[in-house]
Amino acid sequence: MRSSWVRGAGALLAVGALFTTSACGSGSGSKDTSHKPAGRVNLTFWGWAPGYDKSVAMFNASHPDIHVTFQKTAGGSAGGYSKMLNAVKAGNAPCLAQVGYETLPSFAAAGALQDVGRYANKSRDQYVDWTWKSVSVADQVYGIPLDTGPEAMFYRADVLKKFKQPVPTTWEEFAKVAKAVHKADPSVEMATPPGDGYDVAGLTWQAGGKWFGTEGSKWQVNIDSPESRKVAAYWQDLLDAKVLKTTPALDAKWMADADKGKVVAHIGAVWINTFLSQNLKGSAGKWAVAPLPQWAKGDKAGANNGGSSTAVLKGCKNQEEAVEFADWFSRSKGSVENLIKNTGIYPASKDGLALPAVNAPSKFFGGQKIFDVFKEAAADTDNTWQWGPTMAQVEADFTDGMKKAIAGDASVTDALTTTQDKTIEAMKAQGLNVSKG
């Protein structure tokens, strides 16, 4: 689910001057501070994704010595992360939490995570390499990877057929189809523009840009990059042409219109498939999935938007049991099959990727084996992208900027420039050495 993706945290924080990590937990070689109380171990797990509760129930049924209580929170950027950080500060945090890869560096910087490398590292080879790096900072490991968010294009095959339009394979074709469809029927719109920082980040990622980097002890911020501006100009042109739907993607109105064939496509991560299949009953069988349109015909560049870890928060007294659950959650056949079906994950574990469920045809998508598209997208995605240490601020500022752009009060490029300036400000305020990339 949304909460991101990247190789990032290991390379991201490897330079000691960037963050003070001593507060983040004991080193993987230090003395174990966890303990095994007599009787059943009780763990609490905070998260927001649908389907998590079902996997937790499976675990409890098969592990009498460990009981996990799942408590649903608001989404991470909608208040869940703030609640977790406040609980750590108050000393009453749960052991386990759903933390996106993009947010894990911020949690590490805040000293909110527990190093559980001595328990977790034995499972390292069971996961796709870059996902393990996403839960690690230097030699410290803060949890277990769950999923990734390869992106694709979801579209109404019947609507394109009705208007005699091809499935776009390039962004140029996508724009042409958008204009042709809207001209033929002004009540039909091709898609929504990117609505927040993570949407634009994924598209910049595909275009070959990078928002954050490090050089020596210095952070480099390049949100307002040539690649980002290319993406911004593209969507601004479509906004100016008034061929896009400006209702927020996936809200109730958007869902109703999409079900009626008034929205042709949606650019999004793999986990969008469950949102569509669970909400668009009237158009079941009419949807399909295709690779992301490319900037040049014949290119094969992927993007990622989403991906979560099951992280161990600072202060957890039962670290070994917490890791045992997190590893089971990501690798158990029953758990992963449930999470594919109800959460829409693309597994981070090699065991999960080998399951038949990853190759099963989808009735909602007309019998298509949609995970074949996401498998290719994942393979075509550059895994050297990094996230910065102030992503909550980046997301808030970018979302505000995109709202203004969609309303016509500013441009998408303005959102890039403003967010970059505010990000550099925010990082300097934290005492970080930072410059424009």
Write out the DSSP string of 134-176: HTEETTEE-EEE-EE-BEEEEEEHHHHHHTT-PPP-BHHHHHH
Q: Residue 180: pLDDT band by 50, 70, 90 thresholds? A: very high
Q: Are residues 222 and 361 in the same domain?
A: no
Indicate the helix (H) or strand (E) that contains 212. strand 212-215
353 vs 13, residue with greater confidence? 353
In a domain, 378, yes or no: no
326 and 292 co-located in one domain: no
Q: Show the tokens assigned to 367.
A: 């019998």
pLDDT of residue 6: 31
Residue 23 has pLDDT above 90, yes or no: no
Q: Do 115 and 214 sit in the same domain of this protein?
A: no
Residues 59-117 pLDDT 10s? 999 999 999 999 999 999 889 999 999 999 999 999 999 999 999 988 998 999 999 99
Same domain, 219 and 199: yes
Please indicate, yes or no, whether residues 313 and 254 belong to a single structural domain of this protein: no
For the stretch 226-269, pLDDT in tens is 999 999 999 999 999 999 999 999 999 999 999 999 999 999 99
pLDDT at 4: 33
Q: Residue 395 sits in a domain of what CATH number?
A: 3.40.190.10
Residue 8 has pLDDT above 90, yes or no: no
Asked whether residue 90 falls in the same domain as residue 106, the answer is yes
Residue 124 predicted with pLDDT over 50: yes
**How many domains are there within the chain?**
2
Asked which of 320, 335, 366 is the last residue of a domain, the reply is 366
The percentage of residues in the chain with a pLDDT greater than 70, rounded to a whole number, is 91
Strand 218-221, strand 434-436: pairing: parallel
Task: Determine the pLDDT at residue 396.
Answer: 92
Task: Tell me, yes or no, whether 375 lies in a domain.
Answer: no
Distance CA 333, CA 330 (A): 9
Residue 1 lies in a domain: no
Do 105 and 156 have their domain in common?
no
Residue 372 lies in a domain: no
CB distance 306 to 132 below 8 Å: no
Whether residue 409 is found in the same domain as residue 316 = no
Question: pLDDT at residue 25 above 60?
Answer: no
| 214 found inside a domain | yes
Together in a domain, 293 and 358: no
Could you say which DSSP state residue 263 is in?
B
How many CB atoms neighbour CB 163 within 10 A?
A: 16
In a domain, 377, yes or no: no
pLDDT of residue 368: 98
- pLDDT over threshold 50, residue 19: no
Task: Flag whether 145 is in a domain.
Answer: yes
Which of 366, 395, 415 lies at the terminal end of a domain, its last residue?
366
Statement to judge: residues 209 and 262 lie in one domain: yes
Q: Provide the pLDDT for residue 35.
A: 53
**Domain boundaries, position 354:** 9-149+306-366
In this prediction, residue 300 has a pLDDT band, given cuts at 50, 70 and 90, of very high
Answer whether residue 84 is part of any domain.
Answer: yes
Tell me the C-alpha distance between 437 and 428, whole Å.
15
Same structural domain, 101 and 21? yes
Looking at the fold, whether 182 and 225 belong to one and the same domain comes out as yes
Mean pLDDT to the nearest integer, 363-372? 97
